[in-house]
């Protein structure tokens, strides 16, 4: 797995070098000030590697609806970091369980509102720029 991909050229190079999967990430935006958002680059990375390996993403996902957008744009997995750190620091294991539960219920509610019953049904057809 290669984490930290933000450019389609790097995605192609990683796949050529034998990567089994890519994680589109700016490492939480904690290094380069003003770096591009991973979600912005996700469609170009997905297009560049033409399904060769799974494309995953992390960085600033806080709501179920945001996770659904990334899945709709071709991500196979969406990872969250700090939300679970914060939950653990406030309420330990129970806090993390609560955060997982909240995220899951947000995803389920938004999928119902979109009229889909399976994440496989999440496609770019559901998205519009605004």
- Residue from 24, 59, 107, 111 that binds ligand FMN (CB under 6 A)? 59
Query: Does 64 interact with ligand FMN (rule: CB under 6 A)?
Result: no
Please state the length of the chain.
Answer: 130
Beta-sheet strands, E only, within the chain: 2-5, 22-24, 55-58, 77-79
Binding to ligand FMN in span 65-84, by CB under 6 A: 80-82
Nearest approach, Cβ of 13 to ligand FMN (angstroms)?
18
Member of 3, 7, 12, 63 binding ligand FMN (CB under 6 A):
3
Please tell me the distance from the alpha carbon of residue 32 to that of residue 121, in angstroms, as a whole number: 35
Nearest distance from residue 114's CB to ligand FMN, in Å?
Answer: 23
Enumerate the β-bridge partners of residue 3.
Answer: 23
């Amino acid at each position: 797995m290669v984490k930290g991909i933000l450019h389609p050229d790097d995605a192609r190079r990683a796949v050529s070098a034998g990567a089994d999967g890519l994680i589109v990430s700016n490492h939480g935006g904690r290094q380069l000030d003003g770096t591009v958002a991973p979600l912005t680059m996700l469609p170009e990375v997905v297009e560049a590697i033409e399904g060769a390996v799974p494309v995953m993403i992390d960085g600033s996902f806080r709501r179920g609806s945001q996770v659904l957008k990334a899945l709709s744009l071709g991500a196979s997995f969406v990872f969250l970091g700090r939300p679970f750190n914060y939950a653990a620091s406030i309420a330990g294991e129970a806090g993390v369980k609560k955060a997982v539960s909240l995220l899951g219920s947000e995803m389920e509610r938004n999928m119902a509102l979109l009229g889909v019953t399976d994440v496989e049904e999440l496609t770019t057809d559901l998205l519009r720029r605004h």
